[in-house]
């Protein structure tokens, strides 16, 4: 049986060296078929007081030989076991595409168990849960999952051009998408955690109007930033995300608004 430090190294990736402890941990969840490596530059992009910790799900990168999860509930249960020792100081969660749903489901389970809650939930490139209708673009295609991968973009050309690499990617991606399509979670009570959403203006999968529905998932503040990007955030958009996340996590906490003081939603558009 692996010890706690072995679990830490398998599940939680820290990139770079820190001169001093951070004031807040930011748990980062990758997209379907992705890996923790997508966050390798985030320590340079975030303020020193914020420590990004990338979550590596099984079935990819250095965990390639481990079976990937195919259901959300056991995935979240395992995540809570892994993260519990790290909830002893302020933390937030960021998830992109599939990772947004994982972070959202995790926050609900933390609340249900009476465990520490994230100070913020950041979601990117994932249509709001309220928009789910049981139909998924990757199901029932004549060209199969490979066709969906090619249509979405974001996969390196060298992977698409090499049949063996593509064949290695598809089972994990299929498992990740199964996690999404079988979840069907409909919480009766929204989170009381600020949600900051990021949408690509040219994202056909999760356009801004579908991401705006995240506002019903919180009774706290909601913000939506629209960035000049597609479904897979480019480098400039990722910098913008990190700037916004850093501001949110280092700003003084807003006092609770007085009753009837107005809308707690903010929307901004990238240029």
Query: How far is the CA of 81 from the CAs of 8, 11, 84, 113, 216, in angstroms?
Result: 11, 11, 6, 12, 28
The C-alpha atoms of residue 227 and residue 202 are separated, in whole angstroms, by: 9
Query: How far is the CA of 38 from the CAs of 53, 149, 216, 229, in angstroms?
Result: 11, 17, 29, 16
Please measure the distance between the N-terminal and C-terminal CA atoms of the chain and give it in whole angstroms.
Answer: 51
- List, as one string, the DSSP characters of 161-199: T-HHHHHHHHHHHHHHHHHHHTT----SS-BSS-EEEEE
Q: Could you tell me where the DSSP H helices lie in the chain?
A: 4-11, 42-45, 72-83, 98-112, 144-152, 157-160, 163-181, 208-211, 235-250
Q: Tell me which residues are annotated as active site.
A: 97
As beta bridge partners, residue 267 has 224
């Amino acid at each position: 049986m692996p010890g706690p430090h072995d679990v830490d190294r398998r599940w939680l990736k820290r990139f770079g060296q820190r001169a001093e402890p951070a004031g807040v941990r930011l748990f980062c969840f990758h997209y379907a078929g992705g890996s923790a490596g997508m966050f390798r530059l985030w320590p340079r992009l975030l303020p020193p007081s914020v420590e990004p910790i990338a979550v590596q799900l099984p079935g990819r990168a250095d965990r390639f030989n481990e079976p990937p999860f195919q259901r959300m509930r056991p995935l979240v249960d395992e995540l809570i076991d892994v993260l519990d020792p790290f909830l002893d100081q302020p933390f937030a969660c960021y998830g992109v595409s599939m990772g947004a749903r994982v972070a959202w489901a995790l926050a609900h389970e933390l609340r249900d168990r009476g465990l520490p809650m994230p100070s913020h939930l950041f979601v990117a490139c994932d249509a709001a849960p309220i928009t789910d209708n049981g139909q998924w673009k990757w199901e029932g295609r004549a060209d199969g999952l490979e066709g969906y991968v090619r249509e979405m973009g974001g996969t390196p050309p060298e992977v698409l051009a090499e049949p063996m690499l593509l064949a290695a990617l598809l089972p994990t991606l299929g498992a990740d998408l199964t996690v999404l399509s079988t979840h069907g979670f409909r919480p009766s009570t929204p989170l009381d955690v600020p949600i900051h959403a990021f949408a690509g203006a040219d994202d056909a999968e999760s356009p801004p109007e579908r991401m705006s529905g995240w506002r019903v998932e919180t009774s706290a503040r909601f913000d939506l930033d629209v960035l000049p990007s597609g479904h897979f955030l480019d480098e400039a958009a990722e910098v913008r995300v990190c700037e916004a996340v850093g501001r949110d996590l280092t700003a003084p906490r807003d006092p609770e608004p007085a009753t009837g003081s107005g809308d707690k939603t903010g929307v901004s558009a990238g240029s």
